[in-house]
Amino acid sequence: MAQKILKKCNKCLQKYEYGKSCSCLSQHNRKMLKIKGKEDNFYSSPVWRKLRLQIIARDLKCCRRCAAMKNNLITISDTEDLEVHHIKPRSKYPELELEPTNLVTICKVCNLQLGTRETLDFKFEAKPLKGPCL
């Protein structure tokens, strides 16, 4: 039987199995968000989760940036591989955080590349959702 390799967590100093995360990691992340003044449950709220799926469906389950820049309309079936990006960031425009025309579906790579700029680097016209969105 192979012996497990253990690492010591830099934060809590407890030992955990190599290749896995320390159990305290989520606590540290929450603490850092609180220190930075960003602690909220917005992204785990039922309202956001429902709207997120509606935006992904509206945008045909594909990264709109990849589609616009690479002429590549590839549908991604696993919605966890897609992110819904706030065109105008929540930090500066909290009143737009649930506005469908301020949201666009993009992949994780594109979301990192866009960051928090207030404009898109591709042409996109957000359509309002049909019917009640929330």
Q: How far apart are CA 84 and CA 74, in angstroms?
A: 16
pLDDT in tens, the chain (134 residues): 567 788 887 777 788 787 777 777 666 566 555 555 555 678 888 999 999 999 999 988 888 888 887 766 665 655 677 899 998 888 888 899 999 999 999 988 888 888 777 778 888 887 777 765 54
- pTM exceeds cut of 0.85: no
Calpha distance 121→115 (Å, rounded): 11
